[in-house]
Amino acid sequence: MARVLRIGGAQLGPIQKADSRQAVVARMLALLDQAKEAGCDLVVYPELALTTFFPRWYAEDIAEMDDYFEREMPNDAVKPLFDRAKDYGMGFCLGYAELVEEGGETHRFNTCILVDRDGKIAGKYRKVHLPGHADYDTSLRWQHLEKRYFEPGDLGFPVWRSMDANLGMCICNDRRWPETYRVMGLQEVEVVMLGYNTPVENQHTPDEAPALRMFHNQMSMQAGAYQNGTWVVGVAKCGVEDGHDLMAGSVIVSPDGEIVAEAKTREDELIVADCDLDKCTLNKTTIFNFAAHRRPEHYRMIIERTGSEPPAAE
Ligand code: ING
C-alpha cells in the first residue's frame, strides 16, 4: 500500500514588531483550516513563525529580546494551534525562538518542533548553521544578528519515525549546507521540513538580482532532495516586516529534485502536495545507494577541517 502524506506548506506573510502572538496564531489557524479543507496530514510553518524576524534588530543586552522567546512549549499563545491540529488529526512543524534555563544558565536557540497527530511533541531541532554576525557591524546596511541571540543547535540533525514516515527538520540557513541533508540522508529521511526568513537583499551584495537569490534558495533545497532521495518542504515567512523585505518562494520538492508545489504570493498562503514516500526508494537504492557507492575513507577532510585551507605552494 503506497505511503502518501498530503503535506501543506503554510507560508506566512510579514509579522510586524507590533503584531501580537494571538494575531499571528489566528492567521496560522486559518491556514490550518485551509489545510484541513485540503485533506492535509501534516502542515509546515516557517522559521520563527510566532514573531517578527527580530535578529535584524540590535540590542546591547540580549535579554532585551527575551520577549520574542518561548519559555515553554506548548504555551497559552500556541495552545489553540495544538488543540485544533489534534482535533483535525494533523501533525505540524513549528519554528520559534526557544529560551531554556538549564543548570542555572539561560540558553537561547532558533528551534522547530514536530508535533504528531495526537498533539504530542515528537521531535525537536535547534538550528545548527547560524548565519550573520554577533556584534553590530557598521559596514552593513542592515544587521543579521542570529549569532548574537542564539547558540548553535546542540541536537544534531535527528530523523524521527512518525506518521509512518522518516521525518527530519532543519531551519533556514541549514538548507544551504549539503551536510544538513546528508546527515539526515544517512538516517533514511523521507521528508525534510524547514522554514526560512530570508532577506530579499543580500547584506553583502545589495545589487544581487532577486532572481539569483531565489535560484540559490530553491536550488539548495532541490539539490538536497535529489542527492538524498527525500522530499523537502521549504516554507517562508515573507513580505515587508517594519520596512525589511523577506523573500517568498515556498516550495515542496520531490525526491527527484522537482518543484511540485510553489507559492505564488508574498502573503499567508497554503501550498499542498501529495508526497508519495515510496518515491524516495528509487534514488536511495540506485544512484544514491549510499552503502554501495559512498567512500567515507576519502571524506575525512569534511570532518577534520572547519575552514578551508589552500593547497601547499609549488
Ligand atoms: N536567513 C538567511 C538564509 O540563510 C542568508 C541568511 C541570506 C544567508 C542570504 C546567506 C544568503 O536564508 C536565515 N534566517 O538563515
Q: Is the pTM value of this prediction over 0.85? A: yes
Q: Which residues contact 295 (CB under 8 A, 6 or more apart)?
A: none
Closest alpha carbon to 45 in 82, 70, 87, 18? 82
Is 47 an active-site residue? yes
Whether residue 172 lies in the annotated active site: yes
State whether residue 244 is helix, strand or coil: strand
> What is the DSSP code string of 165-234?
EEEEEEEGGGGG-HHHHHHHHTTT-SEEEEEE--BSS-SS-TT--HHHHHHHHHHHHHHHHHHHT-EEEE
Candidate of 57, 149, 176, 251 to mutate for ligand 1, largest count of ligand atoms within 8 Å of Cβ:
176
pLDDT beyond 90 at 179: yes
Regarding the domain delimited by 4-281, which CATH topology (the fold level of the hierarchy) does it fall under? Nitrilase/N-carbamoyl-D-aminoacid amidohydrolase (3.60.110)
pLDDT tens digits, 60-71: 999 999 999 999
Pocket test for ligand 1, best of 54, 144, 204 (most atoms within 8 A of CB): 144
Closest atom of ligand 1 to CA, residue 171: 15
pLDDT interval class at 162 (50, 70, 90): very high
Cis omega (within 30 of 0) for bond into 311 = no
Cell numbers at residue 280, please?
Answer: 524516495
Measured in degrees and rounded to the nearest 5, phi and psi for residue 76 equal: -55, -35
For the segment 127-153, the average pLDDT, to the nearest whole number, is 96
What's the confidence (pLDDT) of residue 54? 98
Res 1 pLDDT > 90: no
